[in-house]
Amino acid sequence: MPISAVERPVLEIHDVECKYGGVSAVRGLSIEVKAGELVSLIGTNGAGKTTTLKCISGLVRAVHGRIIFNGKDITKAAPGDILAEGIAHCPEGRRVFPYMTVEENLQMGSYLRTDKERVQSDLERLFDRFPILKERRRQAAGTLSGGEQQMLAISRALMSRPKLVMFDEPSLGLAPNIIERTFEIIQEIREEGMTVLMVEQNAYAALALCDRAYVLESGEVVLQGSGTKLLEDPTVREAYLGG
């Protein structure tokens, strides 16, 4: 890990249940993320991974349990308040604002901030990191390639200066070379000290990258451990890694 973890986890989820209609998508879920960790959630489609991230960010309400961030109960907090507390969500499918320019998308990521000089500094730092975004700063985001939109979505999340950033399926729909670069960027972010919670369909890549992981089935944690340990687990290998 790039920085030492504090004793109390940054994020604690205790016995959380989330429903869509009358159906529980997540049930009795308990996970934790420590400062500086990269934690992955893996599982098949419908396992509750995306719902877990939406529940943390306030897009889906927990009907039971508690979500604690930096010692504060955010279970019933509004999405904007959760973002203000320091949790940024980079959603599945990138979800950039297609008719806004690249720069306007990035500015949307910082809309809660009042430190305008640092916002501009962060913007220029991200343009240095992703020169293609600087080149296309006046271009409508919807005209970018999938890989460029992913770079934009990651940068937009970072513009809020989060304490925890959540990535939902960052490799989905991308070309292999762009997938590799995306994981490199996530690793770089983590090495800079950012705490990361990631949902990823590529179980091998997720486990190889993370400190720890939770395996979800039908909205429940069925296995947990270090990425290395789970890569060697015969059950995980058979179910998620092709044997």
DSSP 8-state code for residue 6: P
pLDDT of residue 243: 54
Q: Is the pLDDT of residue 5 over 60?
A: no
Long-range contacts of 223-229 (CB under 8 A, 24+ apart): 224/31, 227/40
Question: How is residue 118 written in tokens?
Answer: 């640092």
Quote the crossing angle between the two packed helices 146-158 and 176-191, to the nearest 10°. 10
> In the chain, pLDDT over 90 holds for what percent of residues?
66
Residue 136: partners with Cβ closer than 8 Å, 6 or more residues away: 102, 144, 148
As a whole number, mean pLDDT of residues 17-42 equals 92
Homologous superfamily of the 11-96+163-240 domain (CATH): P-loop containing nucleotide triphosphate hydrolases (3.40.50.300)
Please tell me the pTM assigned to this model.
0.89
What is the tens place of the pLDDT at every residue in 95-120? 898 999 999 999 999 888 888 888 98
Placement of tokens 């990035």 in the chain = 106
As a whole number, mean pLDDT of residues 189-199 equals 94
CB 225 within 8 A of CB 39: no
- Across 29-38, b (16+ Cβ under 10 Å) vs e yields bebbbbbbbb
Of 190, 192, 191, nearest to 170 by C-alpha is 190
Would you place residue 4 in the very low, low, confident or very high pLDDT band (cuts 50, 70, 90)?
A: very low
Q: Is the pLDDT of residue 180 over 80?
A: yes
Would you place residue 2 in the very low, low, confident or very high pLDDT band (cuts 50, 70, 90)?
A: very low
Is the C-alpha dihedral spanning 191, 66, 46, 212 positive or negative?
positive
Would you place residue 197 in the very low, low, confident or very high pLDDT band (cuts 50, 70, 90)?
A: very high
Q: Is the pLDDT of residue 9 over 50?
A: yes
Length of the chain: 243
